[in-house]
């Protein structure tokens, strides 16, 4: 036991002393923070106001009709040919030519610009014109503009889960889906990442020929177990660092965000009108995140994640170790790694369907079978899973791990001493039945 600890210690320390470990630990949180911080930051930036000239041959528009947050319009009355040569010089991004019979041929609008027009700008222009044209058409049809305003409603719904006891929780299907996706992805990446780290560690020991010295001191299964646990602890350390650093970075980012002048204006508006404040809060991305956090059983999800990472990792890494033992180089390992990677990739593909319909028969079986259950059960967990299913899945995973590690240990102990022989899967199967 003492010696397994020594192996764990060596595997752990040599890995966390590497630069690549710290680079990955830092880059992860920076990327995660950037993914949601950058769009928010961009959205709050003061935009440069674009200036657009409008040549209105229909005569329907007044300056008061042409109002937009991001665009400044100016009605002009010059020939098209003059405008074409002058608009850029006078500092306009584009000019719009509205035909005489605009009401009948609203598709005949032409926008001239020097560079390709950005989509948001194009839709801003179209929105303004559309609004006016619609108002005129409504009036012609005898509908008062107030009636029109009133019918402009947006449908949004609140989802609530009801337990058998009748407890209601405000839930968030969108949020659950995001959470499920993130965790599925994270498990997929880490199973592959740390699994292949174990494999490369085994190959290193074998190809550098230190293996024979080591196994004259400890049993092969002790070395294998120590290596797997050591690398697994590196994985857990990395998760921990990611979580702590992401929370830290988000705090910094949100301080930066609230110090932004636009946000300060928003805060002022909120203070004046509580009604508006509530609406704004409900619509903000933070509200959705808060809702997810409130509606999910966080300890269950975190605990589940750690469990499925740990046992999924143990199961797969023992198989990766067996492959590493049978080959002499990483290049040679490729033909076998595919066999182990296949179920992980399959599990990840199944998870896409599980996410769409977490209660389907396929989702049920995918979250029961040990090879696919880590990713698929984690995808189902945020939506809520019956306790007996979770317990069965966990038990099966532990049993699967014990089975795989038995198989792997038997291949490993023969493989690590096998040199200069082309190994096939059939050959490895034979090793299972070799005596000590």
Partner 1 sequence: MILSIQNVVKRYADHTALAGVSLEIPKGQIFGLLGPNGAGKTSLIRIINQITAPDEGKVFFDGELLQPKHVEQIGYLPEERGLYKKMKVGDQLMYLAQLKGLSKAEALSRLKDWFIRLDIKDWWNKPVDDLSKGMQQKTQFIATVVHEPKLLILDEPFSGFDPINANMLKDEILGLKERGTTILFSTHRMESVEELCDSIALINHSQVVLTGEKDEVRNRFKKHAYEVRYSGDLGESKAYEIISKAPENNSAIIKLAQPDQTNQAIASLIKQVDLFEFKEVIPSFNDIFIQVVGETK
Nearest to partner 1 of 11, 53 (CB atom): 11
Q: Does 388 bind partner 1 (CB under 8 A)?
A: no
Q: Does 233 bind partner 1 (CB under 8 A)?
A: no
Residue 105: partners with Cβ closer than 8 Å, 6 or more residues away: 99
Work out the burial of residue 159: count CB atoms within 10 Å of its CB; fewer than 13 is exposed, 13-18 middle, 19 or more buried.
Answer: middle
Bridge partners of residue 113, in order along the sequence: 94
Complete DSSP assignment for 299-330:
HHHHHHHHHHHHHHHHHHHHHHHHHHHH-SSH
Q: Give yes or no for a contact between 16 and 237, defined as CB atoms under 8 angstroms apart.
A: yes
Shortest Å distance, C-beta 237 to partner 1? 19
Shortest Å distance, C-beta 407 to partner 1? 18
Query: Which position among 19, 89, 271, 435 is part of the footprint of partner 1 (CB under 8 A)?
Result: 435
Query: Which position among 16, 135, 182, 218 is part of the footprint of partner 1 (CB under 8 A)?
Result: 218
Instruction: Give the binding range for partner 1 (CB under 8 A) out of 60-68, 125-133, 217-225, 366-374.
Output: 217-225
Query: Which position among 217, 264, 360, 424 is part of the footprint of partner 1 (CB under 8 A)?
Result: 217
Shortest Å distance, C-beta 211 to partner 1? 8
- Distance CA(225)–CA(229), nearest Å, equals 6
Query: Which position among 23, 34, 160, 210 is part of the footprint of partner 1 (CB under 8 A)?
Result: 210
Per-residue contact string for residues 188-207; x = within reach of partner 1 by CB under 8 A: ----------------xx--
Shortest Å distance, C-beta 282 to partner 1? 54
Query: Which position among 6, 31, 147, 240 is part of the footprint of partner 1 (CB under 8 A)?
Result: 6
Nearest to partner 1 of 217, 251 (CB atom): 217
Bridge partners of residue 97, in order along the sequence: 55, 110
Nearest to partner 1 of 388, 433 (CB atom): 433
Distances 122 to 44, 91, 94 between C-alpha atoms, Å: 21, 18, 10
Per-residue contact string for residues 414-433; x = within reach of partner 1 by CB under 8 A: ---x-x----------x---
Shortest Å distance, C-beta 194 to partner 1? 18
Q: Does 20 bind partner 1 (CB under 8 A)?
A: no
Nearest to partner 1 of 52, 409 (CB atom): 409
- Distance CA(94)–CA(117), nearest Å, equals 8
| Side-chain-side CA neighbours of residue 132 (13 Å) | 21
| 240: alpha, beta or left? (left if phi > 0; alpha if psi -120 to 50) | alpha
Shortest Å distance, C-beta 205 to partner 1? 8
Nearest to partner 1 of 331, 387 (CB atom): 331
Q: Give yes or no for a contact between 22 and 94, defined as CB atoms under 8 angstroms apart.
A: no
Distances 301 to 205, 244, 377, 378 between C-alpha atoms, Å: 37, 17, 10, 8
Dihedral, 341, 347, 350, 355 alpha carbons, nearest 10: -130
Shortest Å distance, C-beta 222 to partner 1? 10
Nearest to partner 1 of 115, 421 (CB atom): 421
Nearest to partner 1 of 12, 311 (CB atom): 12
Residue 49: partners with Cβ closer than 8 Å, 6 or more residues away: 70, 71, 72
Size of the site for partner 1 (CB under 8 A): 24
Q: Does 273 bind partner 1 (CB under 8 A)?
A: no
What are 171's two structure tokens? 């839930």
Which among 202, 198, 208, 257 is positioned nearest to 231, based on CA atoms?
198
Shortest Å distance, C-beta 121 to partner 1? 56
Nearest to partner 1 of 53, 205 (CB atom): 205
Displacement of CA 13 from its chain's centroid (Å): 30
Bridge partners of residue 160, in order along the sequence: 170
Nearest to partner 1 of 144, 417 (CB atom): 417
What are 402's two structure tokens? 């014990």
Q: Give yes or no for a contact between 103 and 136, defined as CB atoms under 8 angstroms apart.
A: yes
Sites of contact with partner 1 (CB under 8 A) = 3, 6, 10, 14, 204-205, 208-219, 417, 419, 430, 434-436
């Amino acid at each position: 036991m003492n010696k397994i600890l020594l192996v764990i210690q060596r595997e752990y320390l040599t890995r966390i002393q590497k630069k690549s470990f710290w680079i990955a630990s830092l880059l992860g949180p920076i990327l995660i923070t950037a993914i949601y911080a950058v769009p928010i930051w961009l959205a709050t930036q003061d935009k440069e106001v674009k200036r657009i000239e409008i040549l209105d041959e229909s005569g329907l528009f007044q300056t008061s009709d042409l109002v937009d947050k991001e665009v400044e319009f100016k009605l002009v009355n010059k020939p098209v040919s003059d405008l074409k040569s002058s608009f850029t010089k006078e500092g306009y991004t584009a000019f719009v030519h509205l035909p005489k019979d605009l009401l009948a041929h609203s598709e005949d609008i032409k926008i001239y610009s020097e560079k390709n027009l950005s989509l948001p700008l194009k839709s801003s222009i179209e929105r303004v014109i559309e609004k006016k044209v619609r108002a005129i058409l409504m009036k012609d049809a005898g509908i008062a503009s107030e009636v029109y305003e009133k019918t402009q409603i947006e449908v949004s719904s609140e989802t609530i889960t009801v337990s058998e006891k009748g407890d209601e929780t405000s839930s968030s299907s969108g949020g659950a889906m995001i959470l499920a996706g993130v965790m599925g992805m994270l498990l997929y990446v880490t199973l592959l990442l740390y699994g292949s780290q174990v494999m490369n560690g085994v190959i290193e020991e074998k190809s550098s020929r230190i293996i024979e010295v080591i196994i004259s001191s400890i049993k092969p299964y002790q070395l294998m177990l120590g290596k797997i646990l050591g690398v697994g602890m590196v994985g857990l350390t990395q998760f921990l660092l990611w979580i702590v650093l992401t929370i830290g970075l988000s705090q910094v980012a949100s301080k930066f965000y609230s110090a932004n002048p636009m946000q300060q204006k928003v805060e002022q508006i909120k203070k004046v009108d509580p009604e508006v404040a509530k609406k704004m809060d409900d619509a903000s991305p933070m509200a959705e995140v808060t809702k997810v956090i409130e509606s999910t059983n966080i300890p269950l999800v975190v605990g589940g994640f750690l469990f499925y990472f740990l046992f999924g990792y143990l199961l797969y890494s023992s198989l990766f170790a067996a492959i590493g033992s049978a080959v002499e180089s990483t290049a040679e390992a490729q033909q076998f790694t595919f066999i182990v990677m296949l179920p992980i990739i399959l599990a990840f593909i199944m998870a896409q369907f599980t996410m769409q319909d977490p209660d389907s028969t396929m989702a049920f079986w995918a979250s029961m079978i040990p090879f696919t259950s880590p990713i698929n059960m984690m995808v189902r967990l945020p939506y809520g899973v019956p306790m007996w299913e979770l317990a069965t899945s966990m038990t099966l995973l532990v049993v699967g791990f014990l089975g795989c590690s038995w198989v792997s240990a038997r291949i490993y102990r023969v493989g690590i001493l096998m040199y200069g022989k082309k190994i096939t899967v059939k050959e490895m199967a034979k090793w299972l039945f070799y005596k000590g």
